[in-house]
Amino acid sequence: MKAIINPFVFSQVNLDSASLTMLTSAVHKTSESGIYDGTIQRGSDIVGRFRLAVSDSSPEKCAVESKNQVNIDLKSLDLPVPDHIESQSKNCFQVRTGGYVVFHLSSGAGGYAVELRKTGTESSGKIVFNSRKLHENDHFVATPLRPGTYWVINVETKAKAELVVAYPEIGKIPKQPQAIKVECSQNGITPEKIKINPTESLLFSFKAPSRIKIELVKPEDRPQVEAQIKEDEQSKKQSNSSAPNQKPIRHLCINV
């Protein structure tokens, strides 16, 4: 099978809980049974709709049992506006009361936000989840890949923490990376200094309304390594040019 490299993964440096990409996901813990209408937005545009059924037990005449966690791929629900009503009726996800809904992307550039509104006469239109402002029942997962120093900023509380993503070195990257827990409260972000490997994720929990931005301030590109590579290449060119009757070497470059 031919490996497929998604260029969007490597082009995403700065991350934002209000603009979900392949390197981020938002998690909501359900607390009340009922039917919820979901909308997916990119900027101010609604680009998708779905429905979520939260129940203490599986509904009758339902082939799919309600689970403790349901994963919703936002990219797959990004459809033209004329298809939104049909999508909402067909794409109905189920989860048990107290279970978790994970909003993620399987591909693409992303930039999505999600809202859940409870339906019914008593609470029609009530927003119970908004990925642009996360609360105590929510989590945010981020996996910054580029080595360097970042600011982790809570836009709502103005709190800051320092994040260092280590440069990948053979033998030092954990084979089974664990998520690093980060707590956001009204008083700040804990811990205030965080260090992770490029394969490790940050798991944010909240005790105050929050929007998290992760911004690169100083990349670690190892310029001394790049300089050594250039020097080696220059030496090879000089030795090739000085060798008599040597055929030129052709290089094949593949752009990913």
Q: Report whether pLDDT(137) > 90.
A: yes
> What pLDDT shows up at residue 12?
72
What is the rounded distance in angstroms from the CA atom of residue 17 to the CA atom of residue 19?
5
Percent of the chain topping pLDDT 90: 57
Q: Report whether pLDDT(96) > 60.
A: yes
Q: Report whether pLDDT(130) > 80.
A: yes
What is the rounded distance in angstroms from the CA atom of residue 4 to the CA atom of residue 56?
40
In angstroms, how far is CA 117 from the centroid of its own chain?
Answer: 22
Say how many Å lie between the first and final Cα of the chain, rounded: 17
Q: Report whether pLDDT(113) > 80.
A: yes
Condensed to tens digits (0 to 9), the pLDDT of residues 170-199 reads 766 767 778 999 999 999 999 999 999 888
Give mean pLDDT, residues 90-98.
91
Condensed to tens digits (0 to 9), the pLDDT of residues 234-256 reads 666 666 555 555 544 444 343 43
Condensed to tens digits (0 to 9), the pLDDT of residues 63-83 reads 455 689 999 999 999 988 888
Other residues' Cβ atoms within 10 Å of the Cβ of residue 142: 23
Residue with tokens 């990349």: 219
**What are the tokens at 147?**
């080595």
> What pLDDT shows up at residue 165?
95
Q: Which of 162, 160, 167, 219 is nearest to 194 (CA)?
A: 162
Domain ranges of the chain: 19-132, 142-256
Please answer whether residues 159 and 184 qualify as being in contact, where contact means their C-beta atoms are separated by less than 8 angstroms. yes
More confident residue, 52 or 246: 52
**What are the tokens at 142?**
């981020």
CA dihedral 157, 180, 8, 51 (to 10 degrees): -70
